[in-house]
Amino acid sequence: MNSHKIYFWLFIIFMFPATSQSSEPIELTLSYQINPSPPYQMGTGVEVIEPPGIALDIINAAAQELNLKIVYKRYPNVRVMHLLKHGQIDGAFMFSYKPDRAKIVRYPLTQEGKLDSSKRLATLSYWLYSLIEAKLDWDGTNVTGAKGFIVAEHGDSIIGDLEKIGQKVQQPDSAYKALLMLTKRPQVVGAALQDVKVAPLLDSAEFSGIKRSSVPLKTKDYFLVLSNRFVARYPDLATALWEKIEERRDDVTKESMYRYSSFQ
């Protein structure tokens, strides 16, 4: 065997394992909370149900194009943050931006080091809902009109915002129950809820007498956040994943929305 053939086979022997390894998908463990947040996160408890939610649809579409294998784990949100902080999971969703949170997890950033909202998983808006005949409204700064309780889904971030401006808040465990309280209890004058949860409910005759405020109470972007450990190990892959989420988000959301309308 001449020297050229020897070099050729040595090249094949040494390169084949590397080629095989590079074709294997990289596995990521991503977590989300055990409470449902339809249509983005479906189901209650630790099981990943089918269909799983628009957030998972977006992540799965991005992962498929990047040859990533996603393993989903569900925990209470406090547990999710603990695992992220200690690098025991690779990422989690859906989280809005908080400066304290940004100290222990990684958000997508611009080249200038600012939060890159174009890489969000979703934008969710809270609106103030009331009976059509009520004078209740939100002027962008204060709640105006009728006085009484405002209901908001238990655990939603809007509760703290309402309490800061002096509103009394009750916390039912679903958007449906919140609207039911609005229609049945005179002391409840408004409901502060996410539009994606309320829109399908307002199609029913049961809630036909409900209107929405002139402007949203709050609009927030929500992200897939990654652990410091994962980004340190795979910085280019982290960037690619966020970029793919940006690329696929709107199309997947539009395609998937109808799948979830009957679940809300």
Are residues 183 and 57 both part of a single domain?
Answer: no
Query: Residue range 48-63: average pLDDT?
Result: 97
| 22-26, 72-76, 143-147: segment of lowest average pLDDT | 22-26
Domain span at residue 252 reads 21-121+221-263
Query: Residue range 56-64: average pLDDT?
Result: 98
Are residues 26 and 116 both part of a single domain?
Answer: yes
Asked whether the predicted pLDDT for residue 90 surpasses 90, the reply is yes
Amino acid at 8: F
* 6 within a domain of the structure (yes/no): no
| 2-6, 173-177, 181-185, 256-260: segment of lowest average pLDDT | 2-6
* pLDDT digit string, tens, across residues 192-210: 999 878 887 888 899 999 9
Are residues 161 and 136 both part of a single domain?
Answer: yes
Asked whether the predicted pLDDT for residue 250 surpasses 50, the reply is yes
So what's the pLDDT on residue 259?
78
Q: Record the tokens describing residue 70, joined without a space.
A: 């996603």
- Residue carrying the six token digits 């009750």: 170
Are residues 110 and 44 both part of a single domain?
Answer: yes
Give the DSSP letter of residue 188: E
Count CB atoms within 10 A of the CB of residue 256: 19
* 75 within a domain of the structure (yes/no): yes
Residues 115/242, Cβ–Cβ less than 8 Å = no
Measured CA to CA, the distance from residue 193 to residue 190 in angstroms comes to 10
Residues 30/245, Cβ–Cβ less than 8 Å = no
Are residues 140 and 71 both part of a single domain?
Answer: no
The pLDDT mean for the chain works out to 89
So what's the pLDDT on residue 262?
61
Greater confidence, 17 or 158?
158
Query: Residue range 180-187: average pLDDT?
Result: 96
Measured CA to CA, the distance from residue 136 to residue 145 in angstroms comes to 4
So what's the pLDDT on residue 10?
43
User: Could you tell me which of 234, 229, 227, 163 has the C-alpha nearest to residue 192?
Assistant: 163
User: Could you tell me which of 234, 220, 231, 225 has the C-alpha nearest to residue 80?
Assistant: 225
* 155 within a domain of the structure (yes/no): yes
| Total count of residues recorded for the chain | 264
Are residues 208 and 238 both part of a single domain?
Answer: no
* 9 within a domain of the structure (yes/no): no
So what's the pLDDT on residue 221?
95
* pLDDT digit string, tens, across residues 95-107: 999 899 999 999 9
So what's the pLDDT on residue 5?
39
Question: pLDDT-derived band of residue 89, with 50, 70 and 90 as boundaries?
Answer: very high
So what's the pLDDT on residue 257?
77
Query: Residue range 62-86: average pLDDT?
Result: 95
Asked whether the predicted pLDDT for residue 14 surpasses 60, the reply is no
- The conformational region for residue 153 under phi > 0 = left, psi -120 to 50 = alpha, else beta, is beta
Asked whether the predicted pLDDT for residue 154 surpasses 60, the reply is yes
Measured CA to CA, the distance from residue 215 to residue 144 in angstroms comes to 13
Q: What's the CATH number where 134 sits?
A: 3.40.190.10
Are residues 193 and 150 both part of a single domain?
Answer: yes
In whole angstroms, how far apart are CA 237 and each of 102, 107, 195, 249?
19, 14, 33, 18
Measured CA to CA, the distance from residue 138 to residue 127 in angstroms comes to 9
So what's the pLDDT on residue 75?
96
pTM check: above 0.95: no
* 206 within a domain of the structure (yes/no): yes
Query: Residue range 214-219: average pLDDT?
Result: 94
Are residues 28 and 117 both part of a single domain?
Answer: yes
So what's the pLDDT on residue 261?
65
Are residues 259 and 173 both part of a single domain?
Answer: no
Tell me how many domains the chain contains: 2
Asked whether the predicted pLDDT for residue 29 surpasses 60, the reply is yes
Residue 68: strand pairing partners: 26
Query: Residue range 147-176: average pLDDT?
Result: 92
Are residues 104 and 190 both part of a single domain?
Answer: no
* 99 within a domain of the structure (yes/no): yes
* 184 within a domain of the structure (yes/no): yes
So what's the pLDDT on residue 1?
52
Are residues 170 and 212 both part of a single domain?
Answer: yes
Are residues 167 and 58 both part of a single domain?
Answer: no
